[in-house]
Structure 1
Amino acid sequence: MSFTLTRQCRPSVFRFHALRAFHSTPKASRLGLPARNASSSNFVKVAAATSLGVGLSFTTKPTIYCDGEALPKSQVYLPDLPPPPASSLSLYELGFGTVAGLCAGVFVKKGAKALAVVLGGVFVLLQYMASTSVVRIDWGRVSSRFGEMFYRRDGTGTKKPPTVSSIWNTLIDFLTADFQPRASFIVGFALGIRVG
């Protein structure tokens, strides 16, 4: 870096510009050393801080105490307890009620699907015919007929729509009327609805 002094400059202005130029240059170039990159000095600082942190973490390592050796699997269960009870439902020994319930459950589920397909098809066909003005359908009257058939009156005399539990109870009462193995039939029926 070279400085030239012109005759028009005063010495105080020259000193100001020279000091400003001196302080704006890196320290390494003022001393004649090769200039270092700022990112490499940051890397050295980060590496030093990381090394210090890791070194301190080894000096403050917690002590781990073991309670004892683990027991083998054979000693985990207490030998003086009785074995767990066997299941009362044997899949290989199905009674008549369970088999009848299983078959009835499959039949009801398949029949309900077929009935839903038929009733849905009839509804779509009627809607199509009504949209093309072939027939005229009074849906209010159809709804009142549905209410007369399926709604039940409670103790106060108000009509209540059917619920899932009321339909289930009516169906079970119908299927198990005068049928002795009622409990095994209900189990088989629920299994048949699940399987079917």
Structure 2
Amino acid sequence: MAAVFEWFNVDRAAALVALVAVVASTVYAHRQTRIARESTRIAREAKDDAKRSADAAEQQVKIAQDARDEAHRSADTARDMSRMEARRDHLNGAVKDVELLRVESRPHARLGRWELFGLFKNNGHRVYRYKIAVEYSGGVQTPSGRGIVRPGEVVSEHLLTEAPYDSIVVWFDGECPCDVPDDLDGHWRKSWPAPEPVVPDDEHPALQ
């Protein structure tokens, strides 16, 4: 035991303390290094998570924008289709529905002159109000009859005392979903060149 105490002197004690301090410092340094690396890893993962979250948020914004754009496109398409349907409905209105069957020449019972009458038929499913004019050379027009023609109905309207004329012009009004503004005289305008008048066998309008 005395030999141990003789060997363990102040210098060796100081060296041992220094060695322990070095070991402790090394252990501490390694520990701090591990802590620093773990902190760096955690920070990097947090940064990656934040980037993924930002990318996901940006993707969601893009998806929402795309959905909004698609909704706008769908709405525009629906409006265009609605306008096309309304326009087609307009074109399939009175101009297509109403036809001039013929012009009849009938004698006036008391005045001894011949009168011209137009027979018009509504082949459509709408009710139309109409206003008729006779057009002469140079575009001069003389107002004639007016009234209402119902689906499937034939109406007879006096046109004029038999004389040369160029055409028969009719303005129509009725239900129409289109956005075409009404003319001053009506929503639809149709004209027929003056046909050769016929004389009915019974000299009365044949409404059939």
TM-score by length of 2: 0.19
Which is strand-richer, 1 or 2? 2
Kindly indicate whether structure 1 or structure 2 has the higher relative contact order, using CA contacts under 8 Å at least 6 residues apart.
1
Bigger radius of gyration: 2
Larger helix proportion of the pair: 1
TM-score (norm 1): 0.20
